[in-house]
Structure 1
Amino acid sequence: VVGGGEKDADTFEESLKLKNTLDGIEEEAGASPSWEALSVIVNCEFRLYFINQDTPLRNNPFLSHWVETIQRLQNQLSTAPTTEYAPANTDNERIADRDIWVVRLGLIKALLQSRNVAQFTDKSPRQLYKDFVESQQKDSFDLGPYIRMLEEEDIYERTPEPTEPHARDNPATTHQNNSTSNNDAQRPRPSKLSDFQQWKKDVLTRLKTSPETATPELTHLPIELSSLDFLTTLLQEQTLQSHNIDPAPIISDYIQHALRLTEQMGESSSAGLASSASAGLGATTSVEDQLVDHGREAQTRAVKLLLLFIRNLIRKDLVGMEAIYFEIQEICVRYVWIREVREFRAFIEGVEGGEGRYGR
Structure 2
Amino acid sequence: MSYLTAALSTAEINALSDPTKSYEDAFRDLEQITNTNFDESPFENGVRYRNTLDILEEQAKTAPDRNMLAVMLNCEYRLWKLDEETSIKYKPFLTHWVQALRRLEEDLTNFKQGTTHNPTSASDSLTAEGVTRARLTWIKGLLIGKDMTEIRSSSPWRTFSLTVPAFERPFDVQPYIQMLVETGVWDKPREPAVPSAPGEKQKPTLNLKMQSRKTVAKADTSSAPQQWQKTMRQKLKEQPDTAVQELKNLPLELSSLDFLTTLLTDRTLEAHSVETAPVIIAYIQHALRLVEKMEAPPSTSDQDSHANGAANGAESRAPVVEYGKEAQSRAVKLMLLFLKSLIRKGLLGTQVLYFEIQEICVRYVWIKEVRDFKSWVEEGKDAAQNGQT
TM-score range for the pair, normalised by the shorter chain length: 0.5 to 0.7
Q: Counterpart of 1:139 in structure 2: which amino acid?
A: R
Contact 2:294 2:322 in 1 (8 A): no
Match runs of 1:309-348 below 5 Å:
309-315=338-344, 317=346, 319-335=348-364, 340-341=369-370, 344-348=373-377
- Identify if the C-alpha distance between structure 1 residues 335 and 252 changes in structure 2 by more than 3 Å, giving closer, same or farther: same
Q: Distance in 1 between matches of 2:46 and 2:288?
A: 23
1:116 CA displacement: 4.0
The match for 1:104 among 126, 135, 158 is: 135
Q: Does 1:25 align with 2:56?
A: yes
Q: Counterpart of 2:179 in structure 1: which amino acid?
A: M
Give CA-to-partner distance per residue, 1:248-272, whole Å, 9 cap, x none.
Answer: 5553333123123334445852359
- Identify if the C-alpha distance between structure 1 residues 339 and 37 changes in structure 2 by more than 3 Å, giving closer, same or farther: closer
The match for 1:143 among 173, 176, 187 is: 173
Give CA-to-partner distance per residue, 1:256-295, whole Å, 9 cap, x none.
Answer: 23123334445852359858xxxxxxxxxxxxxxx99635
1:17 CA displacement: 1.5
Q: Distance in 1 between matches of 2:239 and 2:79?
A: 34
- Identify if the C-alpha distance between structure 1 residues 188 and 159 changes in structure 2 by more than 3 Å, giving closer, same or farther: closer
Q: Distance in 1 between matches of 2:245 and 2:131?
A: 38
Contact 1:269 1:295 in 2 (8 A): no
Specify the alignment match of 1:75 in structure 2: 106
Specify the alignment match of 2:250 in structure 1: 221
Q: Does 1:252 align with 2:252?
A: no
Specify the alignment match of 1:240 in structure 2: 267
Q: Distance in 1 between matches of 2:185 and 2:39?
A: 21
1:106 CA displacement: 0.8
Specify the alignment match of 2:227 in structure 1: 199
Q: Distance in 2 between matches of 1:234 and 1:35?
A: 37
Alignment gaps of 5+ in structure 1: 1-5, 162-180, 276-290
Specify the alignment match of 2:82 in structure 1: 51
Q: Counterpart of 2:48 in structure 1: which amino acid?
A: K
Q: Distance in 2 between matches of 1:30 and 1:206?
A: 32
Q: Distance in 1 between matches of 2:169 and 2:285?
A: 45
The match for 2:187 among 157, 164, 169 is: 157
Give CA-to-partner distance per residue, 1:112-168, whole Å, 9 cap, x none.
Answer: 2235444333444433332233x254334332332222222122223699xxxxxxx
- Identify if the C-alpha distance between structure 1 residues 105 and 330 changes in structure 2 by more than 3 Å, giving closer, same or farther: same
Q: Distance in 2 between matches of 1:38 and 1:210?
A: 45
Contact 2:181 2:188 in 1 (8 A): yes
Moved more, 61-70 or 12-21: 12-21
State the identity as a percent. 39
Contact 1:252 1:327 in 2 (8 A): yes
Q: Distance in 2 between matches of 1:232 and 1:307?
A: 13
Q: Distance in 1 between matches of 2:270 and 2:125?
A: 41
Q: Distance in 2 between matches of 1:92 and 1:154?
A: 45
1:100 CA displacement: 1.8
- Identify if the C-alpha distance between structure 1 residues 94 and 101 changes in structure 2 by more than 3 Å, giving closer, same or farther: same
Q: Distance in 1 between matches of 2:64 and 2:338?
A: 33
Task: Work out the number of aligned pairs and report it.
Answer: 311
Q: Distance in 2 between matches of 1:116 and 1:47?
A: 15
Q: Distance in 2 between matches of 1:80 and 1:342?
A: 49
- Identify if the C-alpha distance between structure 1 residues 295 and 20 changes in structure 2 by more than 3 Å, giving closer, same or farther: same
Q: Distance in 2 between matches of 1:44 and 1:307?
A: 23
Q: Distance in 2 between matches of 1:34 and 1:211?
A: 48
Contact 1:268 1:294 in 2 (8 A): yes
SS in 1 for 2:298: helix
The match for 1:298 among 321, 327, 347 is: 327
Specify the alignment match of 2:198 in structure 1: 183
Contact 2:187 2:206 in 1 (8 A): yes
1:36 CA displacement: 4.1
- Identify if the C-alpha distance between structure 1 residues 201 and 255 changes in structure 2 by more than 3 Å, giving closer, same or farther: closer
- Identify if the C-alpha distance between structure 1 residues 107 and 234 changes in structure 2 by more than 3 Å, giving closer, same or farther: farther
C-alpha root-mean-square deviation of aligned residues, in Å? 4.3
SS in 2 for 1:269: coil
Specify the alignment match of 1:39 in structure 2: 70
Contact 1:61 1:225 in 2 (8 A): no
Alignment gaps of 5+ in structure 2: 1-36, 208-221, 305-319
1:105 CA displacement: 0.9
1:102 CA displacement: 1.1
- Identify if the C-alpha distance between structure 1 residues 348 and 15 changes in structure 2 by more than 3 Å, giving closer, same or farther: same
